[in-house]
Structure 1
Amino acid sequence: MQSTFSGLELAKRGIMAHQRALQTVGHNLTNASTEGYSRQRVEFTPTHPLYRPGLNRAETPGQIGQGVDIARVERVRDELLDRRIITALGNESYWTTRERYVLQLEQVYNEPGDSSVRSLMDRFWDGWQELSLYPDQRASREAVLQRGEALVEGVRNRYQNLDRIRTMVEEEIRGGVKQINTLISDISDLNREIVKVRAAGDNPNDLLDRRDLLVDRLSEHLDITVDERNPDEFSVYTAGYHIVQGRIARPFGLEPNRQNSGYSEVVWSHSGEAIRFRGGSLGALQELRDGDLREEIQALDTLVVNVADLVNEIHREGYGVNGRSGVDFFVEHPAVLDAQGNIDINQDGQLDHSYIFRVSGANSLDLKSQIGLAGTLRLSASSAAGPGGIVEVPYRARDTVEDVIARINNSGAEVTARLNRQGQLELKGTAAADRDTPDFVLRHLEDSGQFLTGYSGLLSESGPAGAFVWNQADAVLGLRGENSLGASPSYSVAPLQNPSGWIAVNPEIQREPLSIASSLSVAGEPGEIGDGRAAQAIAQIRNTPVGIGREETLDDYFADSVARVGLKGERAELSLRTSERIRKDLTDLRQSISGVNLDEELAQMIKFQHGYQAAARFITTVDRMLDTIINRLGS
């Protein structure tokens, strides 16, 4: 039977429900400017009626309602939209980071400009051209010396700027890892608190907002995915692994790079395994440091090591006006002091590798001659170029020497080929694509036929038995011996790391510019003072195919380098604008759904205020009824 006082209880529920709704409106209004806050809504539900179906049910028509209850206080949020925003934030952060640093790269190149490396090199070649016209004048040699020193200074300045940017990226990586680890720890702590609140039967709306905000910030650093299928095991993944799983946090660590201890590898702290990210600011930073900036430094190193090698090759043959010969114009520092390039990589006391930059065959070849041979060259390459880091270059009987050289240079092998001044086949190591592989080191040369053996006089034997392999000491001893004319293969040890950072003009030439070579010997006799053939040969390096990769000449090489950086900048700018628009559209949509609208909240406040007043008026009415029953009946 329904109680006489049930009306008071019903009205009390109404007052308490609308009071809670008003408090929720106030909570929304005061957090309108709070970052990451989602507006909350009170969900009303009718209280269970007095009579439910049953044998003891009173014989009364219908169910008697008992007022209103609060089912839950929920935050307004679209989870699918949140996941799209996580991806959009990562993309925008990735391109923002790339654009910022690529812009600095463009400023370093300063092309076109009077102080650019290209301009300095053009003046350097012009100096040699002028010396070829006036080989007997000291002023021409002074000009070559000054322009050579200006070129060296310009190259070093570019290297230092690139290295400085790379160091900035490294510092940002280290700082980013610390921020990421803090976010991971905070998210796992929030997971623990959220589970406790839910266990008590409440909705932890503010904690959920805080966690979502931290996830958004984490997505700016990493390419992450979120799994909310189990509310008590909220998980965050990156690169296929958990970084947060409920209350468990798996942060990252930093380990020194094996090839360059000045840089760090991001590793899993629990296993020490290195990890590469594909998105977010950290992914962009890794790509910039180990990709773009490393490639630009390698490109500059490639230019420097080849120019120095080509200039020195001619300069050693030439004679200065003081009769000096055999003098290098540029200083070249070998990576190892061992004359055969032997080095102990494992640091176990045993020489185990050979660092050789260049090998030349013993036989003189003609570019236009058909080789009349067939076979396959197997040359070292990056791990991505072929199985085992080897590419195969076939050659046929009707191929000319020029055809085979072009095929080598376009094969993707980390080996370049050309004919030197004596017409000998010359193979050089290039910059390595793999980070754990040293630059400018020949690692594998093999020929199934006779092109590298009897024809060019470089290898001693065909097939694997006669291959040149770098992972052994004294690898150069496997080169072919002297030919019938007494010539033998020559080689040079790989240069010290980053030659663009230490390149210099020979101090001997700086002390005595008259040692700068301008003439070549005639019939075994020293060159004459008025002979400018050596200077002319050096000047012609500018427009001569020099075999420094797919680019034919140094001008082609410069054009490719500048275009490469320019295209990277253009792509980063366009991609950033696109990702910004996508992110803005998504965040605006989320704000329209989850954000606090002051006008809407004020309208809700008026509605709940009226509901509160109506419930209060209902209590007054019930009170009068009870007063009539208690105090006036029966008097």
Structure 2
Amino acid sequence: MSLFGSLYVGASGLQTSQNALNTTAHNMANVDTTGYTRQQILFGTRSYNILSVNASSVAYQQTGLGVYYSQTRQVRDEFLDKTYRKESGRSAFYETNTQVIEEVEDLFGEFQGAEFSEALENLWTAIEELAKDPCKATNQNLFVTRSKEFLQRALLVYQGLSDQQDNLNTQVKADVETLNKYGEQLVEINKQIMKIETGGTENANDLRDKRNQILDEMAKLGDISYSEDIYGVVTVRFEGVDFIRSDSINKIELYQDKTTGFYTPYWSQLANYKTVNGEKVLDLEASRVYDPTQTISSDMNTDIGSMRALLLARGEKRATYQEVDPATVDIENYNTNISQSLLMNIQAEFDYLIKSVTTKINEVLKNAAEEATLSDPSSTYLRDEDGKPYQLFEMIANDDAVGFTVGNIVINEDLVAEPALLSFRLKDGTEDKATMQKLLDVLSDESYTLNPNLKTKTNLMKYYSSLISQVSNTGEANKEIAAAQVNTVNEAFAAREQVVGVFSDEEMEFMIKFQNAYNASSRYINVINEMIEHIISTLGR
């Protein structure tokens, strides 16, 4: 090789070393940047000049033309990326569940300064006092007052549960909007990456960092899978359905129930419509993003994403006692649609408690009036002016399909105005002790279960405690899983950071290496330059 040709070899060393230094400096500048991926420069050898070809030689006689910059690539591990994203999605699922349960515990623990259990205990105390002296006006008034207080606090608790459903419903809408926004950003980034990398001379690494950061955030919302084609374009599937294609997005839409206001995410491209009473109605079953009847299981990957957790905790409706009452329960429907929803399950069990207390007290009063009539047809004992038995609790809407749900019960205003109408004094002037005992039995009779899947019987006083214990146990189980999952995510993140993260000490080593390489190329050029100058100076004489 000529001396002038050797200058190009040295120049190639200077250029590649400078590129390597720039890349190292870029890494150092982004050492604390969230989502940044360490970049690595690749070198290649330029083509060789063949000086001579000898058939008897083992190899050609060649001379090198130097080094060239090949590409600056990201250092990532696809397996670690997928592991981290799946585990962070699972962590988001259990963290969301834990937050919902903590809110429920706060609701039951202290609502507007008074625990609901206090209202239940006060009602029991009022019945006990009434049983001691049922004809005393003070005790009658206390019984009616405590019953009204019990109903008011029950309504507050149930309304609190409903408000939580509404809050979760708002979060569902926000999550869907966020997911669609991420999708739009990915489509735009895909276009930019494809435009930059089409020439094959440059990698859009910073755009890829942004895209990977979006994929990390999307994974927290739900189960995603993705792949990258030869053009650098990423396609994404969300919950098993195409979401992002090369240059388009299949947005998730929201259907809002007219009765509850609850949102249901669905795929517009899969939507079917049917005609009901001349009106075009969306068939959700064919297009909904999540199947609420799916069993939650890590093996089936159905416990991934905050959006699924929100929908599951919220449920599909306002649940009532009819979902758990042995007289009306459909066990298959309960196990499929109610039991997995935290709020619907609690609503149903709580409503069953209120329904049982109110209807049983009404039943005692009605039976007492009817028994008095059996012995004396002209008896007006515990009957109003129309001859109807007094009922302490009444339905707002006299609809058996609704029944004695919390929101459909009011206290009898006649009894509130005049508690003495509940005189509990028989025709012979004696106190109605038998009815008093039946009232005591209302809260102490052990013939109730929390839900159809439990066999242990309890009374209405212990029922509420059992309900609270169930919530607490569920909360503890979710907290333990959430804590374990956080550790799993942290381990996956740390393993990934070992690959993608920037470590300042390591980058300093690279910087020193590339500086020395740059200096070596510079000295090489100086030597060649001095040789050329010496030859020219010598020949010039």
Query: Over residues 127-181 of structure 1, what are the superposed CA-to-partner deviations in whole Å (9 max), with x where a residue is unaligned?
Result: 2233233122111101101111121122112112212222221111111111111
1:306 corresponds, among 356, 372, 381, to 356
Aligned to 1:607: 513
Structure 1 residue 333 corresponds to structure 2 residue 396: yes
Distance 1:196 1:133, change over 3 A: same
> In structure 2, which of residues 309, 314, 320 is the aligned counterpart of residue 284 of structure 1?
309
**CA distance in structure 2 between the aligned counterparts of 1:128 and 1:620, rounded to whole angstroms:** 106
Determine whether 1:541 maps to 2:466. no
Contact 1:92 1:579 in 2 (8 A): yes
**2:531 alignment partner in structure 1:** 625
The AA in structure 1 aligned to 2:483 is R
> Offset of 1:122 from its aligned partner?
3.1
Cα distance in 2 for residues equivalent to 1:561 and 1:157:
17
Instruction: Return the TM-score normalized by structure 1.
Output: 0.69
- Equivalent pair of 2:224/2:240 in contact (CA under 8 Å): no
Amino acid across the alignment from 2:437:
Q
Whole-Å separation in 2 of the counterparts to 1:157 and 1:192 = 53
Q: Deviations over 1:295-318 (max 9, x none)?
A: 211222222222222221222233
Quickly say closer, same or farther: Cα 1:190–1:26, change in 2 above 3 A: same
Contact 1:519 1:532 in 2 (8 A): no
Mind listing any 5+ residue stretches in structure 2 that lack a counterpart?
272-286, 292-301, 316-340, 370-379
Mind listing any 5+ residue stretches in structure 1 that lack a counterpart? 337-492, 521-525
CA distance in 1, matches of 2:59, 2:158: 94
SS at match of 2:411: coil
| CA deviation string 1:504-523 (max 9, x = no partner) | 21111111112226367xxx
What amino acid sits opposite 2:313 in the alignment?
L
Matches within 5 A, 1:39-78: 39-51=38-50, 62-78=61-77
Task: Give the structure with the larger helix fraction.
Answer: 2
User: 1 CA distance for matches of 2:458 and 2:479?
Assistant: 31
Q: Classify 1:517/1:7 alpha carbon distance in 2 versus 1 (closer, same or farther; 3 Å).
A: farther
User: Given residue 8 of structure 2, which amino acid in structure 1 is its aligned partner?
Assistant: E
Identity between Structure 1 and Structure 2 (%): 23
Alpha-carbon offset, residue 233 of structure 1 = 4.7
CA distance in 2, matches of 1:543, 1:563: 19
Q: CA deviation at 1:559?
A: 3.6
Looking at structure 2, the residues matched to 174 and 52 of structure 1 have their Cα atoms a distance apart, in angstroms, of 72
Equivalent residue number for residue 408 of structure 1: none
The letter of the residue matching 1:254 is: L
Alpha-carbon distance in structure 1 between the residues aligned to 2:535 and 2:398: 108
Structure 1 CA distance for aligned equivalents of residues 92 and 268 of structure 2: 25
Q: 2:251 corresponds to which letter in structure 1? A: P
TM-score normalised by length of structure 2:
0.80
The CA distance in 2 between the partners of 1:518 and 1:620, in whole Å, is 117
Q: Deviations over 1:578-609 (max 9, x none)?
A: 01111111111222221111111112111111
Structure 1: how far apart are the matches of 2:343 and 2:489?
28
> Which structure exhibits the higher relative contact order, with contacts defined as CA atoms closer than 8 Å and separated by 6 or more residues?
2
Of 267, 270, 274, which aligns to 2:288?
274
The code of the aligned residue for 1:501 comes to G
Contact 1:113 1:119 in 2 (8 A): no
**1:494 and 2:406 matched:** no
- In structure 1, the partner of 2:181 is 182
Q: CA deviation at 1:270?
A: 3.0
- Change in 2 beyond 3 A, CA 1:516/1:55: farther
Residues 90 and 221 of structure 1 are in contact (CA less than 8 Å); yes or no, is this contact kept in structure 2?
Answer: yes
Residue 284 of structure 1: CA displacement? Answer: 1.2
Alpha carbons of 1:115 and 1:261: their partners in 2 closer, same or farther (altered >3 Å)? closer
| Residues 49, 553 of structure 1: alpha-carbon distance in 2 compared, 3 angstrom cutoff | same
Contact 2:382-2:424 at 8 Å conserved across structures: no
The residue matched to 1:248 in structure 2 has which SS? coil
Q: Which moved more, 1:228-237 or 1:163-172?
A: 228-237
Note the C-alpha offset of 1:617.
Answer: 1.6
Per the alignment, do residues 304 and 519 of structure 1 end up closer, same or farther by CA in structure 2, a change over 3 Å counting?
farther
Shifted more, 531-540 versus 594-603: the winner is 531-540
CA shift, 1:282, in A, is 1.0
Whole-angstrom CA distance in 2 between matches of 1:502 and 1:616: 89
Q: Give the match for residue 128 of structure 2.
A: 129
Match in the other structure for 2:34: 35
Q: How does 1:60-459 map to 2 (within 5 A)?
A: 62-110=61-109, 115-201=114-200, 202-228=202-228, 232-257=232-257, 260-272=259-271, 273-276=287-290, 278=302, 279-290=304-315, 291-319=341-369, 324=384, 326-334=389-397, 336=399
Q: How does 1:497-576 map to 2 (within 5 A)?
A: 499-516=405-422, 518=424, 528=429, 530-546=431-447, 550=452, 551-576=457-482
User: Aligned-pair distance for 1:232?
Assistant: 4.3
After alignment, is 36-45 or 616-625 more displaced? 616-625
Distance 2:398 2:94 in 1: 37
Alignment: residue pair count: 470
The letter of the residue matching 1:310 is: K
Distance 2:255 2:428 in 1: 57
Q: Distance in 2 between matches of 1:127 and 1:59?
A: 108
Q: Distance in 1 between matches of 2:158 and 2:483?
A: 30
* Matched position secondary structure for 2:236: strand
Question: 1:196: Cα distance to partner?
Answer: 2.2
CA distance in 1, matches of 2:51, 2:75: 33
CA contact (8 A) 2:3 2:528 kept: no
What amino acid does structure 1 have at the position aligned with 2:188? D
Whether the 8 Å contact between 2:111 and 2:157 is mirrored in structure 1 is no
Equivalence for 1:592: 498
Q: Say if 1:539 and 1:192 are closer, same or farther in 2 by CA, change over 3 A.
A: same
1:77 aligns to what SS in structure 2? coil
1:607 corresponds to which letter in structure 2?
Answer: K
Pick closer, same or farther for the CA change 1:53–1:3 going to 2, 3 Å. Answer: closer
Q: In structure 1, how many angstroms separate the alpha carbons of the residues matched to 2:24 and 2:14?
A: 15
After superposition, the CA RMSD in angstroms is 2.9
1:220-267 Cα distance to aligned partner (Å, 9 max, x none):
111222234666452222221111122221221111126x33211111
Distance 1:177 1:189 in 2: 19
Tell me the distance in 2 between the aligned counterparts of 1:529 and 1:20. 105
Offset at residue 117 of structure 1 (A):
3.0
For residues 351-376 of structure 1, the C-alpha deviation after alignment (integer angstroms, 9 at most, x for no partner) is xxxxxxxxxxxxxxxxxxxxxxxxxx
